[in-house]
Every structure is written in C-alpha cells, then in structure tokens.
Structure 1
Amino acid sequence: MTDKVRAAWIEVLGHDDFDDDTPFLEAGGHSLKATQVLIRLRRQLGVRLPNRLFFDHPTVRELAAAVERIAATSPIA
C-alpha cells in the first residue's frame, strides 16, 4: 500500500523529493492537493476514504497503514 500512496503523492505534488515520514504539508502539499490524493486512492482501491483521514495520518507511511486497514474491512464503495 505504501507504493500506491507514494505514487499518488508524486503524481499530485509533481515531485518525489520526500520520504515516507515527511508530512504532506512539508512536502509542498495543501488541502486541495490532499483531496486530490484521496480521490486517486478511492478510485484505485474502490473504498471510501474520509477526507479527515489525510490530516490524521499526514505521512506516506501513516496514510498507507490507515488506508490498508480501511481497505481490509470495507465493502467496495
């Protein structure tokens, strides 16, 4: 899941100059871009991901773990 989240960040941010523990805002993101990341992940995985999820889990590593938990327990959206 980390690879999928990282790929979404790279696509939205337009660079890969961050590591898996860099907070999204420090990597150059903002709320609109965070929403764009979640939209990509929702479409790719077919699960419901609340917008708040991103702000509770601001790094690639944290977001990937949260998305994986949701994907494992959620019916297809």
Structure 2
Amino acid sequence: MTEQVRDAWIEVLGHDDFDDDTPFLEAGGHSLKATQVLIRLRRQLGIHLPNRLFFDHPTVSELAAAVERLATPSPLA
C-alpha cells in the first residue's frame, strides 16, 4: 500500500523529493492536491476514502497504514 500512496503523491506533486515521513504540506501539497491523491487512490482501490483521512494521516507512511485498514475487511463483517 505504501508504494501506491507514494506513487499517487509523486503523480500529483510532480516530484519525488520527499520521504515517507514528510508531511504532505511540507512536500508542496495543499488541500486540492490532497483531494487529487485521494481520488486516485479511490479509483485504484475501489473503496471510499473520506477527505478527512488525509489530514488525520499527513505522511505517506501514515496514510498508507490508514488506507490499508480501510481496505481490509473487518473479520466481523
């Protein structure tokens, strides 16, 4: 999942000059670009990702972990 999130960031930001623990805003992102990242991930994964998710998990590492949790069905479901 980390690679998918990182690739979406690179595509939207237009560069890869950040590491997996760099906050999106420090990497040059802003709210519109964050929405673009989530749209790409939604299309790739076919799951709902709330916009708030990005702001609660602003790094590649954090966002990948949060997306992974949402993409993995609950054992009780």
Q: TM-score range by the shorter chain?
A: over 0.9
Which residue is equivalent to 2:62? Answer: 62
What is the Cα deviation at residue 36 of structure 1? 0.1
> 2:34 and 2:71 mapped to 1: Cα distance?
18
Residue type at the aligned position of 1:66 = A
> 1:56 and 1:73 mapped to 2: Cα distance?
21
- Identical counterparts, % of pairs: 88
TM-score, normalised by the number of residues in structure 1: 0.94
Please list, as runs of the form range in 1=range in 2, the aligned pairs for 1:35-46 lying within 5 A after superposition: 35-46=35-46
> 1:37 and 1:19 mapped to 2: Cα distance?
16
Which residue is equivalent to 2:15? Answer: 15
Unaligned runs of 5+ in 1: none
- Are 2:34 and 1:34 aligned? yes
Query: Could you say what the CA RMSD is over the residues aligned between the two structures, in angstroms?
Result: 0.9
Residue type at the aligned position of 1:53 = L
Unaligned runs of 5+ in 2: none
SS of residue matched to 1:6: helix
What is the Cα deviation at residue 73 of structure 1? 2.3
> 1:46 and 1:69 mapped to 2: Cα distance?
14
TM-score, normalised by the number of residues in structure 2: 0.94
- Are 2:3 and 1:3 aligned? yes
> 2:66 and 2:46 mapped to 1: Cα distance?
15
Number of residue pairs the alignment of both structures matches: 74
Runs of 4+ in 1 over 2 A off after TM superposition: none
